[in-house]
Amino acid sequence: MNRFGLTAVLLFTLLSCSVKEDRSLCACRLTVDLSSCTGAGDLIRIRVLTADEIIERDFIPGEDSPYYEIPVSKGSCSLEAFLCPQGLQAGSGGISVAPGESCPELYAFCSSFQAAGETAGQKVELHKQFSQITLVLEDSPWDDPGCVFEVTAPSAGISLPEMDAAGGGFRFLVPYSGPGQRLFRLPRQKAGDAERILLELTAPDGYHQTIELGRMLLEAGFDWDAQDLSDATLSIRGGEVSLEITGADWEIHNISPVEI
């Protein structure tokens, strides 16, 4: 075979073979789907945690695209997403209510996944991490702007990515919001500690009364481990206190009447 023929054969052989690229070290393109969060009113913070880094993005509902593409290192990852309303402290290991502040409307989502291929996807579904307590005051001496209502609870936030009750104690002075009603929000609590939730009432003349709100909630069947926490209404009519729990699909009326 002449030199020209040998060159042609070698060229054909090289063209007919493919050199496979090692893509094991290439980043995975993670698509975060926030389409179910477009109605949220506050900024949503997204965190992706890998073995090498923490990646943060902020999503503004109604302004940003509900689909975020984030390059992440391949391997085990976790995704955190939560609303960032005023009064909330967000650290690397959890979210907590600032001391003395009202608990905001805290919604959060966490998941763990493997970024094994070139692409991966995660859909964010925010879950309710607070319980709104409405105080209804009827024919009650406590329906007075000068009365002080203080609520205390063991936990002031949630841990991430576990979304368990965490943080130091929660303490909040419930403001007067008009005749017949006050309201506040409690952050998620550990079921074993929830009996320690107290509502302290102090009249202008110094008279003091304690309502064991945590015990009433537990006796009514309140589930602090639920994915989305229920709300409750505490009614003080004359000298009697009663509780009603409201959830997505169920209600319990006139639970745990006590005298104060």
- Distance of alpha carbon 91 from its chain centroid, rounded? 13
- Does residue 103 sit in the same domain as residue 156? no
Query: Is 203 a member of any domain?
Result: yes
Residues 135 and 223 placed together within one structural domain of the fold: yes
- Give the CATH number, domain containing residue 99: 2.60.40.2100
**Angle 240-101-166 (CA atoms, 0-180°, nearest 5)?**
90
Task: Show which of 110, 127, 144 is a domain's final residue.
Answer: 127
Structure tokens at 151: 């609520």
Q: 159 lies in which domain range?
A: 131-259
Is 18 a member of any domain?
Answer: no
pLDDT tens readout for residues 97-143: 988 999 999 999 999 999 999 999 999 999 999 999 999 999 899 99
Residue corresponding to tokens 């008009």: 178
pLDDT in tens, the chain (260 residues): 555 454 544 444 444 444 455 455 688 999 999 999 887 777 899 999 998 899 999 988 888 899 989 999 999 999 999 987 776 787 778 899 988 999 999 999 999 999 999 999 999 999 999 999 999 999 899 999 999 999 999 999 999 889 999 988 999 999 998 999 999 999 999 999 999 999 999 999 999 999 999 999 999 999 999 999 999 999 999 878 999 998 744 333 334 444 55
Q: Is the domain of 139 the same as that of 32? A: no
Bridge partners (DSSP) listed for residue 135: 182, 234
Same domain? For 157 and 94 the reply is no
Domain match, 154 and 109 both: no
Q: Is the dihedral of CA 41, 38, 124, 76 positive or negative?
A: negative
Q: What does pTM read for this prediction?
A: 0.82
Cβ 122 vs Cβ 111: under 8 Å: yes
Looking at the structure, do residues 114 and 145 belong to the same domain, yes or no? no
Q: 63: which residues sit within 8 A by CB, 6+ positions away? A: none
> What pLDDT is stored for residue 251 in this prediction?
39
Contact 204, 143 (CB under 8 A): no
**CA 24/CA 74 separation, integer angstroms:** 8
The CATH number covering residue 163 comes to 2.60.40
Cα–Cα distance measured from residue 42 to residue 37, given in angstroms and rounded to the nearest whole number: 10
Percent of the chain with pLDDT over 90: 63
Are 149 and 120 part of one and the same domain? Answer: no
Q: Is residue 165 included in any domain, yes or no?
A: yes
